[in-house]
Amino acid sequence: MRKGDNLAALQTRLLPMATVELVINLYEDRIPLFDRQSRVQRSSTSGIMLCGAHSENFIICDTREISVMGIHFKPGGGTAFFDLPAGELHNELISLDELWKTRASELRDRLLQKSTSGAQFLVLEQFLMQMMRSPNYHSAINFALQQFRQSVSPTVSTVIEQTGFSFRHFNQLFRDQVGVTPKLFCRIQRFQKVLEMLSEKPTTAWMDIVFACGYFDQAHLIHDFRAFADCTPTQYLAQRGFHPCHIVLPD
């Protein structure tokens, strides 16, 4: 949970994690959405926003979100709470009302009635338990996710062969449960490892990061920064925010 009464007027670029997120704005019942290139507001959601698994970054405005709660679902975990394939939410930011109807606003109202973050998290946990349905997790997808986590540079085709499924069928199953293709998931996971290393030790040599994260060379690392963060690695270090996946944008 993030709170603050006098935050500067900043826009923050959130980098993709290929997981489903739930963002609850307790300051006002609205979350503005911005064009990732022009940074001009293009629309908004209600105060409870569902973020599908992203392979693109998106922008939030801190001045309008000074009291925010968030839920980060493990890869594939969101399917237990939202009755549609995760792939349909890929790169989408929607009002939770679209899926939960009046239950979404009911959740926000209950949270606003609590005065401490501890009480709010308890309400959120209990509410999610009520909304959880029997998940249709596929054992082959769970196996693949485990293999992807354990390997620095997993070979997607090898993992798929081990499941016994065809490449096409497995890709569809994975996208339905996780939200992105397995190849894209592994690429984002590798990029997240880079951000984690830089967070732990900002002075780490770039070639050490290239080797540790399974990149072919530094050019491929730079390519991922431009693709996922819209900046170079050096620009990222100069502008990163309080979280490794946050970039504070200049005025």
The structural domains of the chain, with segments of one domain joined by +, span 2-131, 139-238
- Helix spans in the chain (H): 97-100, 102-112, 117-131, 139-150, 156-163, 167-178, 182-200, 206-212, 218-229, 233-239
pLDDT at 9: 54
Q: How far apart are CA 25 and CA 108, in angstroms?
A: 8
Task: Over range 145-162, report the average pLDDT.
Answer: 92
Average pLDDT of the chain, as a whole number = 92
Q: Sign of the C-alpha dihedral, residues 241, 246, 247, 248? A: negative
Q: Yes or no: say if 39 and 59 are a contact pair by the CB < 8 Å rule.
A: yes
* Residue 216 CB burial class (10 angstroms; 0-12, 13-18, ≥19): exposed
Task: Assign 133 a pLDDT band (cuts: 50, 70, 90).
Answer: confident
Using one digit for the tens of pLDDT, what is the confidence trace for 28-49? 999 999 999 999 999 999 999 9
Q: What would the two tokens of residue 244 be?
A: 């490794």
Q: Sign of the C-alpha dihedral, residues 74, 79, 82, 84? A: positive
pLDDT at 21: 96
* Residue 139 CB burial class (10 angstroms; 0-12, 13-18, ≥19): exposed
Using one digit for the tens of pLDDT, what is the confidence trace for 179-222? 999 999 999 999 999 999 999 999 999 999 999 999 999 999 99
**How many DSSP H helices and E strands does the chain contain?**
10, 10
Task: Over range 52-77, report the average pLDDT.
Answer: 87
24 pLDDT above the threshold of 50: yes
pLDDT at 8: 45
Quote the pTM value. 0.91
pLDDT at 119: 97
Measured torsion, CA atoms of residues 125, 129, 135, 140, in degrees rounded to the nearest 10: 30
Q: Yes or no: say if 13 and 36 are a contact pair by the CB < 8 Å rule.
A: yes
Task: Over range 56-64, report the average pLDDT.
Answer: 82
What is the fold of 139-238?
A: Arc Repressor Mutant, subunit A (1.10.10)
What is the fold of 2-131?
A: Jelly Rolls (2.60.120)
pLDDT at 135: 74
pLDDT at 136: 76
How many CB atoms are located within 10 Å of the residue 230 CB? 17
Q: Yes or no: say if 138 and 173 are a contact pair by the CB < 8 Å rule.
A: yes
Q: How far apart are CA 27 and CA 25, in angstroms?
A: 6
